[in-house]
Each structure stands twice: as C-alpha cells, then as structure tokens.
Structure 1
Amino acid sequence: MGPSLEWRTVNKPFLAHTSTVDKRGGHQQNSCGHGQLSKSLQRSRNKCEDLARQPVEQGIHNSRVQSHVWLTYPSSTPLLSAHPTCIETLVLEFPLHPSLPPGVENVKDIGNLGNVPIINALAKLHSPILHWFNSHASPPVAIISDFFLGWTHHLAHQLRIPRITFYSSGAFLACVSDHLWLNADALLSSPVVSFPHLPKAPSFSADHLPSVFRHYRGSDPEWRFVRDCMTANTLSWGRVFNTFGAFEREYVEHLRSQMGHHRVWSVGPLVLPGGSGSLNRGNSNPDSAATDAVLGWLDGCPDGTVVYVCFGSQKLLKPNQVAALASGLEGSGGRFIWVMKAGSLPPDGFEERVGERGKVIKGWAPQVSILSHRAVGGFLSHCGWNSLMEALVCGAMILAWPMEADQYVNAMLLVDHLGAAVRVCEGDETVPDSAEVGRTIAKAMSEDFPQKRRAKELRDEALGAVLPGGTSSRDLIGLVQELVQQRQV
C-alpha cells in the first residue's frame, strides 16, 4: 500500500477546499464556515490551510456552510484542534507512479521536474474522490483546488458542481500562464514572448518564462496531461488568489474581463505576522536559543539597516556564486543576516572579516521573526511568491535575484510595475559582479531610497486589505456568499 495522505504533503497544494451547505432543511446550524480542503503541492500547502481557516476565524458562522478538509500534513493539527466541529478529514493513499521513488510525495524531495509525475499521480485520485462524493450524505457544493490540479475541473463537471481554482501565487502569473498554455505550440519556439493584451504589455525572454512551461514537451503524454490541467483552469467557475487589491488589481480585473464574470477573488495576504496562519507555523523551531541570539543581535541594530539574505528551501547556490555574493555583502559595508542551506559554506575568513556587522545562519532561520524586526529593511530573495508576501506584510524591500519557476514574473511585478524592489542579479547559473552587488545593496539600504518607501506603503495596503471593510475581507465574504447560494439555486 502507498503512504497515507493524512500524514504527508504532496508536491504543492492540492487545496481542494470544497464547501457544502447543510441539506437538512429549515434548521439553521451554528456551523463554522465550511469548505473542503485537500493539499498536496508543498509550497502552497500552508496557504490552502490558511484559506480554509479564514472564514472560521473571521466570524463567518451563520452561513449554513460547512467545511470538509482533506488533510495531508501534521501541521494541520492546530487547525483541526481549534475547530473540531467544522472540519471533516478524508484520508487517501498517495497513488504510485513509476517515476517517483518510494515515499516521495513532495516536489522538494525530487526537484521542480517532479511536478509532472506528481500531477499525473494525483489524477488517479479522481475515482476515489468521485466515490466519496457519491456516498456522502451531504456532499460538498463546490471544489476549490490548486492550479496544478486542473483535472479536478473535469471531476467537478462530472459531479455538476462548480470548481474554483486556488492560486497560492499571483494574478499576474495567472494572466501570463493562461496565454502561454492556450498558445503553447506557437510560443514554445519564440525567443521572446510578448503579452500586448495585458496591462503594461509585458514581454519575457524565453528563459524567463515559468519553468513548468519552458520544460513542456508535447510529444510526452504526461506533459500533455499537465497542459490539459493548465488550460482547464481558464474554464473555472471562479478563481481565488493569495494577493490583494493594491498589489494586483489590474490583473484581477483583466481576469474578470477574460472570464466574463466577477468570480475572481483576492483574499490575501492569507497570513500575517503574529496571526495564527502559516507565517507563525514556519517560525516554530526547537532551537529557541539560536532564535533568541539572532533576534538579540537585531535588537542592537538601528532601524531598517539590516539586509536579510535567503533563497528559499530548495535553491543551493554554487560555490562561485557564494563567493561573489560574500564579496558583495562584505563590500557593501552594511549589516546583514545570511541564511545558508546545509551543504553551503561561506568563504574562508569571511565571518571573521565582517565581524559583528554580519551574521551567517547555517540551516533553519526564524524568517518571519527576522523580517518583521524593526532593524530589517531589505530582503535579498529569489522572489518566490511566499517570500514576497512575507516581505510585503513586514514592510521589507525586496532585492531581487530571480532564478527559476515563477520568479522572473514576480520580480517584474515588484521591480518594474510597482517600484517596490530592485534587481541585484538574474539567473540560477549567473555569477554576479561582486562590486555591483555591493554598490546596489549600499544604495538600496539608504534611508531615502524610493523603493524602500514604496515597500512600506504596500505593507500598509496589505494590512488594510484584511481589515473589516478591506478589499480582501470583502472578497472573502463574497466568496462565501457565492458558495452559500450554490445550495439555494
């Protein structure tokens, strides 16, 4: 037998957050906001959970909407414990696939090319889920599933219920992705792809397009299935994004126009520092002494003077990239915290030369506690969406080094469209010019740097969006109301 999805995550989220309404007639239940959540793809896993949490924690209790959650990870335990009467679990075994080693259910354990076999493996859950729906006394009225799981559109069609696509990433990326997948055969060989129909008419060189599209091979049936999943998203009954109005309003409006209806919701940022969502979950670690030490060091630094350097959980810099970045940080003359993955080490003598103005953390770091500290003013990042959102809600300016996946699209949004970030380097093979890195960091960290001010403005917009009456709060209520109406139709 394969491993149980009750305890493991699979790749990126399978947020099948499906909502049901009580069928028992006139009796009004005091039930919590109820939807169905299933997670699998690693980077979105927490965001799926956070979306399920929002209606419950924001007091949407009288909608007669119930929640079923297909849980796949032990970190879901706090959500279950906090709302035991609102959530039902569905346990499914992870389907086997010949390209996946035994026990591998997560893209972080196999690399981004693992998306293809994992997506194809998860599609084998179609029949078990269909059987569960058909045997359930009060089945869900909608499915909310991750954008990598477009096959659930066909499942929802078969069940005659709406399917809503959940994006842990942004609306700009969805606009780009839709165009690419709908025109894949014509665009794959183009050295530059333009999007004249999108706001600001962006264009990307072929090597800056999302990795999952660049790797597409039409001769491979498993890749053709991935394409079918992606194009199915454009047919969704609705779409939900972990973004907010001031950040991507024009792209959300474009999607509404393209889809011909209003059912595109911005409900982010889904978690905030100090809240109960995944920012806090990712901040827990038994090594409290190390956390206290780094926060204590930050306490002694002036406001907004520290650059936090981290490239996510998957990217390991090459030795020549490490050497160039180290030289740039040293030459900047500024304060920094540099998180290095296991297997990577700073150059000999680097820590001694920078002394107390720099800290190197080898392994895990309390990222949100660091970003939200008053001393941190910048974040040298690979521009993954989760990292960008964490930086935004903390008011930290991004110093961008996009490398793969959706990161070039995210960097364009933040650097070129919003003026809230600055590029430091580009490319996963690029060795940056050390002197230029040092100059860029020194200039960007100056007190009056415009991008730094813009990042603070976006923080205020993000925090305001989730307050009562804010754009994301209104969209969340609108989403729940639409789901309630599905049972009344």
Structure 2
Amino acid sequence: MQPLAKMEKKEDKTLHVAMFPWLAMGHLLPFLNISKLLAQKGHKVSFISTPRNIDRLPKLPPNLSSSITFVSLPLPPFPNLPPSSESSMDVPYINQQSLKSAFDLLQQPLTEFLRRSSPDWITYDYASHWLPAVATELGIKKAFFSLFNASALCFMGPPSSLIEDARTTPEDFTMVPPWIPFESDIVFRYHEVTRYVQKTEEDVTGVSDSVRFGYSISESDAVFVRSCPKFEPEWFGLLRDLYQKPVFPTGFLPPIPEDHDDDGAATWVCIKEWLDKQRVNSVVYVSLGTEASLPREELAELALGLEKSKVPFFWALRNEPARSGSLIPDGFEERVEGQGMVHVGWVPQVKILRHESVGGFLTHCGWNSVVEGLGFGRVPIFLPVLNEQGLNTRLLHGKGIGIEVPRNERDGSFDSDSVACSVRLAMIDDAGNSKRTNAKLMKGLFGNKDESIHYVDELVDYMRSKGSSHVSHVG
C-alpha cells in the first residue's frame, strides 16, 4: 500500500518553485507571468531578483500576494557600472557584459537562500550558467526557461557547440547551420551580427553569452520554451533531438493587464487621451525596446519616414541622458503635431497595444514585444536591432506575418522612404491586406491565455513527477 499512498501524495503535492530571471524587463515579466500561473494553481513561488527590478514589476493581484514571495538580493558593485544600474535598460549596450559579471556575483547570496529555503525546483535564465551546479549540490531540480523561441534556440545549436563557441566570424551566423536538417531561411543578416559584436568588444568582461547558454541548457533537468508547437512544430521536434532531454512549451504567456495596477497612471492618462482621439486601427505604435540605441542618423531617417508616411503614430523613445541634445530632428515634433506623438521615457506598452486605435507596431522584434503585439492582433513592422531579433524577423516573415523595413545588407542603414513605404504597406495600402488579416489571426494564438494555462498544467505534472532530491529540509 505504501507506494500507492506515496503516489497520491505526489499528485497533490504543493510545489515550491524558485524563479531567477536575467536582469532585463523582457525577461523579468515573462518569469512573473509564469509565476502567477503557478500561484493560481496553489503553488508557492520565490521570485528572486535585485531590489530595483522588483520595485519595477507590476503589483501582484491581492489573491496571489500570499503565494509569491519576492526575494531581494542587492547587486554587488562592479567596474563600469553606474550606481543603481540593475537592469539592461540602465546600462549602455557596450557595458552589458559588466552587468552579467555583477550578476555572477549573486551566486553566493543565491546559494545561501536556496540552502535555507530548499525549493523543489529552480527555474532560471540563460545568464546564470553557474546555477545548475549549485542546484545539483543542494538536491534541487532545475529547469532552464528560454525566453527565446524554438527556432532561435535551434539556430544557436546543441549545447556542445555553444560551449565550444564554435562560430567565430560574422559569416558563420549568416548561414544555416549543419544541424538543421530541413530547408530554412532563419539566419542573421551580416549587419545584425557585426554592428553589436564590434561594440561589445570594448567590454570583454567574463563569460560569453554562447557559453552561458551552453551550460544553462546542458546541465538542466528540463527546458521550458516560451512558444508552442502549433506555431513552430518542426523546430520543437528538432530542439528535442538537439538537447536530448525533456523540452516543454509554456505557450506564449501573454501579459495579463491588471486593472488594479496603477503604476505610471499619470503617464497613461496623457497617452490614452491622445489615443482616444484617433480612429480605430489607425495608429502605428513605435518602440525599439529598452536595450539598444539606433545611431543618430538612423533615428533621423526613422522620424522623417514616420512623417512622410502620413500615418498617425505614437513613438516611445527611450530616455538616454548620456546623449546630448535632442535625439530627433529639429522641428520634427512641431511638424507632426497633428499626426503623431513622441514620448521620451517609460510607457505602459501593453495598455497602448491593447487600445483599439492602435493597428500596427513598428518593433525591434524582441520576442517579448512580438508576443505582446501579436497577442492583440497588431501588424508588426520589423526593424531588428540586436540579439536574436533578426532570427525572429525571419521566422515571422516566413509565415507571412509582418513587414520588414528594407535595409543595406552590410551596414544595416535604411532611409526615410523605406520606413514610410513599410508603414503605409502595413497600415493602409491594399497590398498589405493579407498582412493585416494574418496579424489578426495570430491574436487567437499569441493572445491565448487558456493555452498557456494548459501548458503550465503539463509542466506542473512533470515537476511533481520528478520531485526534489534534497534529503531533508534543514530547519
């Protein structure tokens, strides 16, 4: 009778899951979304990050506040990092590796917390390559949660290739790798590789991203991926072959707009007032993320292209105090006063995309923004800037979703006419009808909260079945 009793107990077991995301809002928010789904099912979550990042997160709904505990670990100071820099949005792109080195110094306080609290599982991000060994030593099960989709992970390759850092030239990244057995056009363009590789060479601190990914994947017990097989069937199949371990989709984890969340309320009131005056589906929302900056001359071409398009736009421009003077051409805001609105600094992106006047989204094509935009059926206009954004652009373009701004293959430059034509094609021209239709169809997939709940149920079943291997809770 004892095995049966044990089995029943395991099925009813409340899990304690620790979450440890990388220090970027595009990573913190999906980790929080999956935490909320686990908490809704009665599980206990310890969400671990730095004080300032925890403060930036939306407030928890009252019914979940007792199930999710925020664990604040101060980020140790590190050369090249200004004080109070705790997120990728606080740090110039050339200093991102310094942020990762400071993040690595959280190993000791995190280990102490895990030893004290003995969670059943820890779910972690690509940057904490040292964490799986710590978890193994403490008898805690470990899952790598990828906020990159399955096709991007396949392009990166098997863990052994990542750890070897085998690809050394920009050209290596512009070709389909040998481990992809079917036809694919998911590759980087030359400029997508070279532009930012050159910048980060100024700051070569610590371990490469490739090695971080390699160990995070290879030493995990399971891999969770923020996508689903309905969208990328062949890529999920290949990923399981490449990793030789359990790979689970989480669904897209669309954001849950919280009605009680009043963060940035005054900013939203001002934006909403402007959006309310626009026609349904008429506005293109423009945002290129919180990490990278376009060169000043490209920002000028983007501004002039929006003006030439004659399409209403709302442009969220990141605040960069280090760059002197206005980021946009003189007289631009005055000229487009009746057409567009420019806002410098943070904006409530989900609320903007949700607004009925917004029809399109000119985006850097970070996966988080893709999910948010397509979750509301907004037509994407792609202007990839860094990281895996070029791969995401190829994936979506191959499925007939969205329009890419034409650019010079070698240096990535573009002009105002290419911006204007792309915006008009996405928003107005008859030739863009199929793109608008496809984007609306995607709403049913990317915005499907029930599907994420179903996938998280499968994760919970798996996590319960594996349990944790720590012998006893020291107390």
Farther off after superposition, 142-151 or 303-312 = 303-312
| 1:133 equivalent in structure 2 | 114
Which of 464, 478, 481 is matched with 2:458 structurally? Answer: 478
- State how far apart, in whole Å, the 2-side matches of 1:354 and 1:120 are: 43
1:409 to 375, 385, 391: 391
Instruction: Quote the Cα distance in structure 2 between the aligned partners of 1:421 and 1:365.
Output: 23
1:149 pairs with 120, 128, 134, which one? Answer: 128
Query: Can you list the C-alpha shifts for 1:222-267, whole angstroms capped at 9, x where unaligned?
Result: 235x544221123121122222343333322221222234332233
- What's the CA shift for 1:457? 1.0
**2:283 alignment partner AA:** V
Does the 8 Å CA contact 2:176/2:187 hold for their aligned counterparts? Answer: yes
- Name which of 218, 225, 230 aligns with 1:246: 230
What is the aligned counterpart of 1:291 among 249, 271, 285? 271
Cα distance in 1, alignment partners of residues 205 and 316 from structure 2: 40
Report if the CA contact (8 A) 1:34-1:86 is conserved.
no
Distance 1:365 1:480 in 2: 34
> After the TM superposition, which residues 190-209 of structure 1 pair with which residues of structure 2 at under 5 Å, given as runs?
190=171, 192-198=174-180, 199-201=182-184, 202-209=186-193
Tell me the residue number matched to 2:357.
375
Moved more, 435-444 or 453-462: 435-444
Residue 116 in 1 paired to residue 100 in 2?
no
3-state SS in 2 of match to 1:451 = helix
**What is the SS of the residue equivalent to 1:35?**
strand
- Output the CA distance in 2 between the equivalents of 1:197 and 1:392: 30
Tell me how far 1:387 sits from its aligned partner. Answer: 1.5
* Structure 1 residues 330 and 69: alpha-carbon distance in aligned structure 2, compared to 1, 3 A threshold: closer
1:20 corresponding residue in structure 2: none
The one of 279, 294, 299 equivalent to 1:322 is 299
Render the CA deviation track for 1:285-343: whole Å, top value 9, x for unaligned: 32354133222222xx1x32222222223444444323322332232232222233445
- In the aligned structure 1, how far is the partner of 2:418 from the partner of 2:58? 46
Aligned residues, how many? Answer: 445
CA-to-aligned-CA distance 1:72-97 (integer Å, 9 cap, x gap): 31245733854343234444332343
Deviations 1:110-167 (A, max 9, x none): 223433233333333333333343344xx11221101111211221222233221112
- The answer to whether the 8 Å contact 1:80/1:87 transfers is no
Offset from partner CA, 1:16-66 (integer Å, 9 cap, x none): xxxxxxxx9999999976421234412311222111111223xx23xxx53
The answer to whether the Cα contact below 8 Å between 2:23 and 2:49 also exists between their aligned partners in 1 is no
Q: Is the Cα contact below 8 Å between 1:216 and 1:223 reproduced in 2?
A: no
Bigger RCO (CA 8 Å, 6+ sep): 2
Matches within 5 A, 1:432-471: 432-445=414-427, 446=429, 449-464=433-448, 466-467=449-450, 470=451
3-state DSSP of counterpart to 2:135: helix
Mark the CA change 1:135 to 1:305 in structure 2 (over 3 Å): closer, same or farther.
closer
Query: Which one of the candidate residues 360, 367, 372 is aligned to 2:342?
Result: 360
Paired amino acid for 2:302: L
Per the TM alignment, residue 351 of structure 1 is displaced from its structure 2 partner at its CA by: 4.2
| 1:93 paired residue number | 74
Read off the aligned partner of 2:135 and give its amino acid letter: A
| Structure 1: gaps spanning 5 or more residues | 1-23
Tell me, in whole angstroms, the C-alpha distance in 2 between the residues paired with 1:146 and 1:392: 24
- Aligned residue for 2:313? 336
Matches of residues 8-157 of structure 1 in structure 2 within 5 Å? 34-43=16-25, 44-57=27-40, 60-61=41-42, 65-72=43-50, 73-76=54-57, 78-79=59-60, 82-136=63-117, 139-157=118-136
- Specify the code of the residue in structure 2 equivalent to 1:181: L
Give the TM-score normalised by structure 2.
Answer: 0.81
- Return closer, same or farther for 1:363/1:423 CA change in 2, 3 Å cut-off: same
Instruction: Supply the AA of the counterpart residue of 2:177.
Output: F
Partners in 2 of 1:297 and 1:286 — Cα distance?
18
Give the AA of the match of 1:309.
V
Q: Which amino acid aligns with 1:323?
A: A
Give the TM-score, by structure 1 length. 0.79
Conserved in 2, the CA contact under 8 Å of 1:42 and 1:107? yes
**Aligned to 1:449, what secondary structure does the other structure show?**
helix
CA–CA distance in structure 2, aligned partners of residues 338 and 409 of structure 1: 24
- Supply the AA of the counterpart residue of 2:81: L
**CA deviations over 1:390-431 (Å, ceiling 9, x no partner):** 11111111111112222111211112x221111114589744
Q: Distance in 1 between matches of 2:74 and 2:136?
A: 24
2:24–2:89 CA contact under 8 A, matched in 1: yes
Compared with structure 1, are the counterparts of its residues 102 and 348 closer, same or farther at alpha carbon in structure 2 (3 Å cutoff)?
closer
Q: Is the 8 A contact 1:320 1:431 kept in 2?
A: no
In 2: Cα distance, 1:282 partner to 1:256 partner: 42
Whether the 8 Å contact between 1:193 and 1:205 is mirrored in structure 2 is: no
The letter of the residue matching 1:308 is Y
Contact (CA 8 Å) 2:30, 2:253: kept in 1 or not?
no
Q: Give the secondary structure class of the aligned counterpart of 2:81.
A: coil
Partners of 1:292 and 1:186 in 2: CA distance = 47
- 1:161 aligns with 140
Aligned partners of 2:269 and 2:230: how far apart in 1?
A: 38
How far is the alpha carbon of 1:454 from its aligned partner? 1.0
Counterpart for residue 14 of structure 1:
none
Distance in 1, Cα, partners of 2:205 & 2:303: 44
Give the letter for the 1:105 counterpart: E
What is the Cα deviation at residue 190 of structure 1? 3.8
Q: Which moved more, 1:261-270 or 1:74-83?
A: 74-83
Q: Indicate how the Cα distance of structure 1 residues 25 and 247 shifts in structure 2: closer, same or farther if over 3 A, else same.
A: closer
Q: 1:234 and 1:405 mapped to 2: Cα distance?
A: 18
Contact 2:97–2:205 (CA under 8 A) maintained in structure 1: no
Instruction: Provide the secondary structure at the position in 1 that maps to 2:338.
Output: helix
Q: Is the 8 A contact 1:255 1:264 kept in 2?
A: no
Report the RMSD for the aligned CA atoms in angstroms: 3.5
Which amino acid in the other structure matches residue 321 of structure 1?
E
DSSP 3-state at the match of 1:409: helix
- C-alpha distance in 2 between matches for 1:212 and 1:153: 29
What is the identity, as a one-letter code, of the residue corresponding to 1:339?
A
